[in-house]
């Protein structure tokens, strides 16, 4: 999953927003040296990503991309899921998305001073420049994917992959997300409940 989904799931489960995003940057075993709240978020991030990558809906969405884009299918689908979460935001929470993003960015920047090395640069730029708001439109999503593609070892216009999905594939991916995401919310709730009550991870 990408940034918006991790932020939403962190807020929904009352776990650390910053910790949930650090899961892409902190490697190795837990506990880390960052503190229990951040560690819990990192732990949940890893659980969410493993559940997502193994889910049939996610795999089906990746499979709708043809070569050469399918090798980047995980990145593409994670970004598409943030796009559809933006588009269907009121279905999952009553808080308006602009306010949620503003509050989330504020929390991330407040936590910046608590981390030994501060926020990783991509997270700081995301919070300062409000990247996520652009994911709401297909054009903004394309620009974001091109930005990711530019940073690959062999740069390529990753946003072009979206144009390979015809209307039927696009709709199928979107409907798959709408079936999948409620399952992910319940999974996240159950995982944290079990962890907080001392069940084996």
Measure the CA–CA gap between 138 and 143, rounded to whole angstroms.
9
Q: Where is 67: in which H helix or E strand? A: none
Lowest mean pLDDT among 56-60, 133-137, 152-156, 190-194: 152-156
183-197: pLDDT as tens digits: 999 999 999 999 999
The answer to whether residue 162 scores a pLDDT higher than 60 is yes
Q: What is the pTM of this model?
A: 0.95
pLDDT band at 153 (very low <50, low <70, confident <90, very high): confident
For residue 115, the 8-state DSSP code is S
103-145: pLDDT as tens digits: 999 999 999 999 999 999 999 999 999 999 999 999 999 999 9
Least Cα distance to 41 among 108, 131, 130 occurs for 108
Burial (CB count <10 Å: 0-12, 13-18, 19+), residue 169: middle
Residue 102 has what pLDDT?
A: 97
Measure the CA–CA gap between 22 and 16, rounded to whole angstroms.
10
**What 3-state DSSP class applies to 195?**
helix
Which comes out higher in pLDDT, residue 8 or 154?
A: 8
The answer to whether residue 200 scores a pLDDT higher than 80 is no
Looking at residues 152-167, what average pLDDT do you find? 94
Residue 201 has what pLDDT?
A: 54
């Amino acid at each position: 999953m990408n940034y918006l989904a991790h932020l939403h799931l962190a807020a929904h489960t009352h776990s650390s927003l910053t910790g949930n995003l650090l899961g892409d940057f902190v490697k190795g075993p837990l506990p880390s040296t960052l503190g229990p709240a951040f560690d819990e978020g990192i732990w949940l991030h890893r659980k969410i990503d493993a559940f997502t990558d193994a889910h049939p809906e996610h795999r089906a969405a990746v499979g709708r991309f043809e070569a050469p884009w399918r090798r980047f299918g995980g990145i593409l689908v994670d970004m598409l899921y943030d796009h559809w979460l933006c588009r269907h935001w009121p279905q999952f929470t009553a808080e308006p998305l602009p306010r949620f993003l503003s509050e989330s960015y504020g929390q991330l920047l407040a936590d910046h001073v608590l981390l030994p090395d501060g926020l990783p640069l991509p997270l700081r730029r995301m919070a300062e420049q409000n990247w996520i708001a652009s994911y709401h439109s297909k054009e903004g999503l394309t620009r974001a994917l091109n930005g990711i593609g530019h940073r690959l070892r062999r740069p390529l216009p990753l946003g072009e992959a979206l144009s390979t999905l015809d209307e039927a594939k696009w709709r199928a991916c979107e409907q798959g997300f709408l079936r999948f995401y409620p399952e992910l919310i319940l999974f996240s709730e159950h995982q944290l409940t079990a962890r907080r009550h001392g069940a084996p991870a």
